[in-house]
Amino acid sequence: MENKSKFRKDIFKTDSGIVFPEYLTETDQQPPPDVYPYTRGVHSSMYRSRFWTMRQYAGFGTAEESNKRYKFLIGSGTSGLSVAFDLPTQIGYDSDDTLSEGEVGKVGVAIDSLHDMEILFDGIKLSDITTSMTINATAALLLMMYVAIAKKQNADLKRISGTIQNDILKEYVARGTYIYPPKQSMRLITDIFSWCGENLPSWNTISISGYHIREAGSNAVQEIAFTLSDAIEYVKAAITAGLDVDTFAKRLSFFFNSHNNFLEEIAKFRAARKIWATIMKEKFNAKDERSMKLRFHAQTAGSTLADKQIDNNIVRVTLQALAAVLGGCQSLHTNSKDEAISLPTEESVQTALRTQQIIAYESGVADTVDPMGSSNIIEYLTNQIEEKVWDYLNKIEDMGGSLKAIELGYQKNEIERNAYEYQIELEKKEQIIVGVNEFITDHKEEHEILRIDEKVRNVQIENLKKLKQTRDNQKVNSILETIKQKAGTDENLLPYFLTAVESYVTIGEISNVLREVWGEYKS
C-alpha cells in the first residue's frame, strides 16, 4: 500500500510561516536527490510527497494471536506489516518435530503449513498492504504460501508488493538460521530472483541485511561494508545464473540498523547510497537508475534496549528513528520499550508506532529533502564512512569475495573483535549507558510481561494431525518425490514449492526432503 497520506500538505512551512524549500542548492556539495549517486535520497521529493512506510515487526504464538495483533496495528495506523516467524519455521522444522520443543511460537509466529498462513492473514487484503517477512533459509516456502493466499484472494500477482529478507549470507556471519550449505542456499536465492522477475515483479526479492550484523556487535562502518559485500556476492550469483542485472537489481532492497550515535547513523545511510550506486554503475554496468538506487528499511537497535529503567528506551528509540528518517529510509520499524524483558505489549507497541507518527506529522523534518545535507559534520562523517567502507570492500574482494571471506571467518572475527572492545569500554565507563552503568536507581521495577502459553505447541501439533488426516497424502508424497528429484537439477524449484504448499505440504516436510539431497551446513 502506497503511504500517500491525505494529511500531506501542498505548502511546507514552519509555525512562524517560513516556507521550507524542497532542498537547498547554494552550499550543496552533492548532486540533488534522485540524481546519481543518490547520496541525498532516492526520490526527488522524498517525504514531501509520501512518508516512509511505517511497519511494526510482530508475530508470536499462534496464527490467530498474531492476526489479532496485525489488525490492531492496522487499526492504529501502521502502513505495512512485518512478520516475525518462530525459530522452527525459520530453520525448516514443523511444530511437532522433537527439535521444535520449547521454541514453538516463542520468537515469532508458528507457521507449519498454508493452513496457518490462511489464518495469519484472515481478513487482511494483501492487495491493500505491503508485507515484509523476516525469513531466510525457508524464504522460498513462505513466499509461495503468501502467493497462494494472494491467489485465493484473487489479487493481481503483478501488483502485490512486499519483501522477504532472503539474505542467507549474513546468517553464516551473524545470526545462524541457515539450513543448507552456501552453494545450495545461493541457488534458492537466484531461483527466487528469476521466478519473481516473471511472476511477482513488484516484490522485493531480497532485503540484504546489516541489521543483524550490527546486533552481533559490529560498528557502523562494518555494518555497511559487510552488507554491501554480501550484496555484491548476490549480484554476481544472479549474473552467473544468467539473469540480466537491470532485470533483477531494481528489486534488491536493504535492511539497516539505526543505532545510538545520531550523527554517525545519518551519515552512514547517506554513504551507503553513494557506495552502492557506484558499485552498480561501475562494477556491474547497470544502466537502469533503479538498479543503482539503494532502498532500505531501517529498524531501531534492539541491542541498545535496556531492561533497567525501560522508559529510557522510548527516548533511545525516538533518536534512532529520527536518525533513520533524516538518513532517508523507505520504511521503518520502531522497537517497543519492553523488548529487553519480553515480547512487547499492545500498549508499548502503540507507543512505538506513535513515535514514528509524531516524527512524521509533528516534527517538520519530513518537510524538506535531506535536511542534514551540507552540514559540515554530516558531510565529513559521510566521506569518512565511505572511505573506511571501501577499505573493507577492497580487502574482502582481495580475499576472493564475501563468500570466501565468510568461509575464512573474516567478518565474524572482525565483528567479535569490535564487540569485545565495546564491552571493555562499557566496563571502564568510557561509554555510558544511562540507567545501566551510570545513573542507576535502586527501586524495584515491575512491568507487564507478555507471556507465550506453552500450550501453543500442543495446538499446533493437533492442527497438524488434522491436516494430515484430511489432505490428499498420496498427492503429497508424489510432490515431495518430485521436489527431491528436481533438487538435484538446475531447474527452478519455486513452481514445485508453490504446488506443494497449495497441497498443504508442510514446511518441515519440504525442508527435510531438501536436507536429504543437499545436506546441512555445519559451522
Residue-wise pLDDT tens digits, 342-359: 889 999 999 999 999 999
- DSSP state for residue 19 in the 8-state scheme: B
Q: Is the predicted pLDDT of residue 445 greater than 90, yes or no?
A: no
Through-space distance between the first and last CA atoms of the chain, rounded to whole angstroms: 40
Asked if residue 401 lies in contact with residue 233, where contact means CB atoms within 8 angstroms, the answer is yes
Q: Residue 277 pLDDT more than 70?
A: yes
Task: Supply the pLDDT for residue 2.
Answer: 40
**What is the pLDDT at residue 1?**
33
The one-letter amino acid code at 300 reads T
Q: What's the pLDDT score for residue 447?
A: 81
Contact 3, 356 (CB under 8 A): no
% of the chain exceeding 90 in pLDDT = 89
**What is the rounded distance in angstroms from the CA atom of residue 27 to the CA atom of residue 21?**
14
Q: What is the pLDDT of residue 418?
A: 97
* CA Rg value for the chain: 23
Is residue 396 a contact partner of residue 407, using CB atoms and an 8 Å limit?
A: no
Q: Is the pLDDT of residue 220 over 70?
A: yes
Positive or negative torsion for Cα 210, 384, 326, 262:
positive
| Cβ contact 464:506 at 8 Å | yes
Q: Which segment of 47-56, 317-326, 392-401, 466-475 scores lowest on mean pLDDT?
A: 47-56
Q: Check whether 432 has a pLDDT greater than 90.
A: yes
pLDDT, residue 160, reads 95
Any idea what the Cα angle at residue 411 is, between residues 213 and 189, rounded to 5°?
65
- Map out the domains of the chain with their CATH numbers: 47-427 (3.20.20.240)
Q: Indicate the residue type of 279.
A: I
Q: Mean pLDDT across the stretch 126-147?
A: 97
3-state class of 163 per DSSP? strand
Question: Does residue 186 carry a pLDDT above 90?
Answer: yes
Cell numbers representing residue 15 in the block: 509555525
Q: What is the mean pLDDT of residues 418-445?
A: 93
pTM of the shown model = 0.92
The predicted model gives 265-286 an average pLDDT of 98
HSE value, Cβ hemisphere, 13 Å, CA-based, for 249: 26
Q: Helix or strand or coil: residue 158?
A: coil
